[in-house]
Structure 1
Amino acid sequence: MPIEQAWPGLLPEALEKHHQTVSVINGSVSGDTTGNALARLPALLKQHKPSYVLIELGANDGLRGFSPDIPKQNLIKIIDLIIQSGGKPILMQIRIPPNYGQRYSRLFSAIYPNISDKKRIPLIPFFLEQVIIRPEWMKEDGLHPKAEAQPWIAETVARQISPLLK
């Protein structure tokens, strides 16, 4: 979908409703793993010098069955780079579909609160569970939200992060 229709593109307007005026730089690349993002991050931090960085990464690591230690270590490195650059990281919980098995899903989901506690950074809830239950909002792959879901996602994320933007 066009970037203007995706929730990161809608986020500034959603944040305005919460009395926050921000510029949003969407540094994501569809299909990226935490390793891909880690490799690209130093240049993005240098170019944009963000005050805050919302980290919504790891789903592709999980969908590829990577050991949970891989995204965990990459996310810690990402957070460290953001802090070293003067930015404030905000981590988003990621979950993977249950068909990966209860043990793997539990280990994977635990990465995020563990990192949040260890690094003392905010953790915001996973939003996709509320989208998945509305089939009209999901693409046929069962993983990606359609354009119709994007305004709701932007508002949900705005509601979660607006108190953190001070």
Structure 2
Amino acid sequence: MKTLNFFRRLTLLLVLGVFASNAYSAPKTILVLGDSLSAEYGLARGSGWVALLEARLAAKKYSYQVINASISGETSSGGKSRLGALLNIHQPEIVIIELGGNDALRGLDLNESEQNFRDMLNMATAKKAKTLLVAMQIPPNYGRAYTEKFFSMYAKLAKENKSAIVPFFLKGVAEKNELFQADRIHPTAKAHPTMLDNVWEPLQKMLKR
């Protein structure tokens, strides 16, 4: 009887060990909520920075899957309306928010945009996800006041919500005309490794082996 009980306990421990091992090794999720800059607009599939991120994570032996929930033309309002369901479905450990460019291009009220970002950051935090806010800049022809308020919005929100931040998504790209498609808005595939490097710098500090 003692021998039988011993083997029962041993079997139970082995089963629990398998479940624990599977839970530990299961890939974590990074959710990217962006616009056309992340949705591979005008690019061959798999050549954008999000796809390059997934490849880099694998090459560096990080156990993460990347969910790209980006849509061309997306605004902060649209991202906010979709984020709740995405959080429930994917339960990400990290949420990267790359939005705002279309808000500015449409001249939307930045107070509303700021609140949309604040709500998205709070939604992610409530689900225990870490956040990375990707900051954009716009040309000065939108007016100095609007341009400065738009750019400063990201740093303000990151500080307020203790979020990591990419200071400028297109650093090393924006000043090079040859790295843009014919529309002068969307970067070419050659620009996306640099865009990934800009994201990678703060992101790698958030990753777990």
Q: Same fold (TM over 0.5)?
A: yes
Which structure has more relative contact order (CA 8 Å, sep 6+)? It is: 1
Cα shift readout 1:98-137 (whole Å, capped 9, x = no counterpart): 2111111001111111111111111222131421222221
More strand by share: 2
Answer with 1 or 2: which has the greater Rg.
Answer: 2
Q: Where does residue 70 of structure 1 map in the other structure?
A: 112
Residue 118 (str. 1) matches residue 166 (str. 2): no
Cα shift readout 1:26-70 (whole Å, capped 9, x = no counterpart): 111011000011111111111111000011111100111111111
Residue 56 (str. 1) matches residue 70 (str. 2): no
Identity level (%)? 34
Equivalent residues in 2 for 1:77-92 (5 A)?
A: 77-92=119-134
Give me the whole-angstrom Cα distance separating, in 1, the residues matched to 2:171 and 2:184. 11
The residue type equivalent to 1:30 in the other structure is S
Cα shift readout 1:1-39 (whole Å, capped 9, x = no counterpart): 234111111112234566644211111101100001111
Equivalent residues in 2 for 1:147-158 (5 A)?
A: 147-158=189-200
The residue type equivalent to 1:31 in the other structure is G
Give me the whole-angstrom Cα distance separating, in 1, the residues matched to 2:197 and 2:47. 13
Between 1:11-20 and 1:150-159, the stretch displaced more is 11-20
Root mean square deviation, CA, Å:
1.6
70, 76, 97: which one aligns with 1:28: 70
Q: Where does residue 7 of structure 1 map in the other structure?
A: 49
Q: Secondary structure at the match of 2:66?
A: coil
Displacement of 1:156 in angstroms is 2.8
Between 1:41-50 and 1:1-10, the stretch displaced more is 1-10
Q: Where does residue 105 of structure 1 map in the other structure?
A: 147
- Do the aligned partners of 1:95 and 1:105 also contact (CA within 8 Å) in 2? yes
202, 205, 208: which one aligns with 1:160: 202
Give me the whole-angstrom Cα distance separating, in 1, the residues matched to 2:116 and 2:62. 30
Q: Where does residue 144 of structure 1 map in the other structure?
A: 186
Give me the whole-angstrom Cα distance separating, in 1, the residues matched to 2:118 and 2:141. 27
The residue type equivalent to 1:97 in the other structure is P
CA distance 1:63–1:162, shift in 2 (3 Å): same
Q: Secondary structure at the match of 2:190?
A: helix
Cα shift readout 1:135-166 (whole Å, capped 9, x = no counterpart): 22101222110112112222332233111224
Q: Where does residue 135 of structure 1 map in the other structure?
A: 177
Q: Where does residue 41 of structure 1 map in the other structure?
A: 83
- Unaligned segments of structure 2, at least 5 residues: 1-42
CA distance 1:97–1:129, shift in 2 (3 Å): farther
Give me the whole-angstrom Cα distance separating, in 2, the residues matched to 1:98 and 1:9. 31
